[in-house]
Amino acid sequence: MENEYQERNLKIEQELVNDLSLAKTLNDVVVTKAKYLGKNGVITELTKNMRDLSSDERALIGKYATEIRNKANDLISDKENKINAEILNEKLKKETIDITLPSKKRKTGSIHPFNRIVMEIEDLFVSMGYDVLDGPELETDEYCFQRLNIPLGHPVRDTQDSFYVDKDCLLRTQTSSVQARTMEKNVEKGPIRMICPGKTYRRDDDATHSHQFGQFEGLVIDEHITLADLKGTLEVMARKLLGEKTDVRFRPSYFPFTEPSVEVDVSCFKCGGKGCPLCKNTGWIELLGAGMVHPNVLKSNGYDPSKYTGFAFGTGIDRLAMMKYNIPDIRYMYTNDIRFLKQFDRKECK
């Protein structure tokens, strides 16, 4: 008997598979489903009229009927899923968009190259324990010059031709004024480690000079600070800002607020020192002025030169930005052409 039921199931299954293969739409599937599983469906019929049968017989028929019903349900729902998937695919195909149309965004803005450099310098020196300080741009002659060992009539004032607003006040010609203010403010007259980036002003205007420009100054004061420490510090700075292979060279120079004073060159980061137009074929680029804080400067700001020594260095921010980003004319830094500004809209984390 069992063989007979088995064969019957097999036959029903084959017929169902055949019927489903002909079904094209969900409706076709519904019709097929009714034909087998409906009220009078082929499979439903199997368990009808079993009243006269023995309980064993009923159980056996029931078992085979359940088996084929489950099978049928699986086959039908597979077919339904298949058709649904086709319908969905068809629908999605119709929804295809032109992914090359313009995006909807508020474009990221930009930070001016001047301040990008300032932030880079700040991050570097903050990581070495320096404080970033600020000072007035409208400064007194005392802090801009006199406290920095530049008395009235000093010839160096010629190279820093200034904008005075009255006989005592001027737009600072150098951020060195912040040196004097920092030393003065330090009431304990203890160690100092600071940089001060900011705007400075001189009577000058051409492709490489602007009457307004940026400088940053560094100052370290402590016991036993040496010129070698200055060199080591500038080496770190040059390598982090301009590349790990950068070399630093000292040449003697003169600034009234440092003694000894040095002019600091860095090996050309464009050509690596071989010689190119940027370094005028010398392999070196003049980067900053520096030196050991002059004892008169220490004294006039309340520090004891027999106890403390220190170094100071300063350089142009615009120049660094121009070198780093290959900007040919300092005036581009101040005219704020939007086509210039927008070029600085990305991060430089690599």
Distance (Å, rounded) from C-alpha 255 to C-alpha 269? 26
Note whether 235 binds another protein by CB under 8 A: yes
Shorter beta-carbon distance to another protein: residue 185 or 342: 342
Shorter beta-carbon distance to another protein: residue 88 or 119: 119
Interface pick for another protein out of 144, 234, 242, 268 (rule CB under 8 A): 234
Note whether 304 binds another protein by CB under 8 A: no
Note whether 125 binds another protein by CB under 8 A: yes
Shorter beta-carbon distance to another protein: residue 59 or 207: 207
Note whether 228 binds another protein by CB under 8 A: yes
Q: How far is the CB of 116 from another protein (least distance, A)?
A: 9
Query: How are strands ordered across the β-sheet holding 212-222?
Result: 131-132, 192-201, 212-222, 309-316, 284-293, 258-267, 248-255
Shorter beta-carbon distance to another protein: residue 35 or 157: 157
Residues 260 and 227 sit within 8 Å (Cβ to Cβ) = yes
Shorter beta-carbon distance to another protein: residue 15 or 122: 122
Site string for another protein, 252-291 (x = CB under 8 A): xxx-x--xxxx-----------------------------
Interface pick for another protein out of 166, 188, 206, 348 (rule CB under 8 A): 166
What's the DSSP call for residue 334?
Answer: H
Note whether 336 binds another protein by CB under 8 A: yes
Q: How far is the CB of 164 from another protein (least distance, A)?
A: 5
Shorter beta-carbon distance to another protein: residue 58 or 189: 189
Stretch that binds another protein, among 10-18, 76-84, 92-100, 157-165 (CB under 8 A): 157-165
Note whether 339 binds another protein by CB under 8 A: yes
Distance (Å, rounded) from C-alpha 46 to C-alpha 286? 101
131: left (phi over 0), alpha (psi -120 to 50) or beta: beta
Tokens 């099978």 label which residue? 71
Distance (Å, rounded) from C-alpha 125 to C-alpha 233? 10
Residues 291 and 314 sit within 8 Å (Cβ to Cβ) = no
Shorter beta-carbon distance to another protein: residue 8 or 199: 199
Burial of 147 (0-12, 13-18, 19+ CB in 10 A): buried
Distance (Å, rounded) from C-alpha 141 to C-alpha 214? 19
Which positions from 64 through 123 interact with another protein, judged by CB under 8 A?
101-112, 114-115, 119, 122
Note whether 134 binds another protein by CB under 8 A: yes
Residues 176 and 142 sit within 8 Å (Cβ to Cβ) = no
Residues 268 and 249 sit within 8 Å (Cβ to Cβ) = no
* Count of positions on this chain that bind another protein (CB under 8 A): 88
Which positions from 41 through 60 interact with another protein, judged by CB under 8 A?
none
Which positions from 136 through 155 interact with another protein, judged by CB under 8 A?
136-138, 152-153, 155
Q: Which amino acid is at 193?
A: R
Cis peptide before 113 (omega within 30 of 0): no
Q: How far is the CB of 126 from another protein (least distance, A)?
A: 3
Interface pick for another protein out of 7, 86, 131, 304 (rule CB under 8 A): 131
Note whether 129 binds another protein by CB under 8 A: yes
Interface pick for another protein out of 64, 143, 201, 303 (rule CB under 8 A): 201
Shorter beta-carbon distance to another protein: residue 39 or 106: 106
Tokens 């088996």 label which residue? 67
The count of other CB atoms within 10 Å of the CB of residue 180 is 24
The count of other CB atoms within 10 Å of the CB of residue 92 is 9
Residues 195 and 216 sit within 8 Å (Cβ to Cβ) = yes
344: nearest Cα among 123, 184, 120: 120
Q: How far is the CB of 130 from another protein (least distance, A)?
A: 5
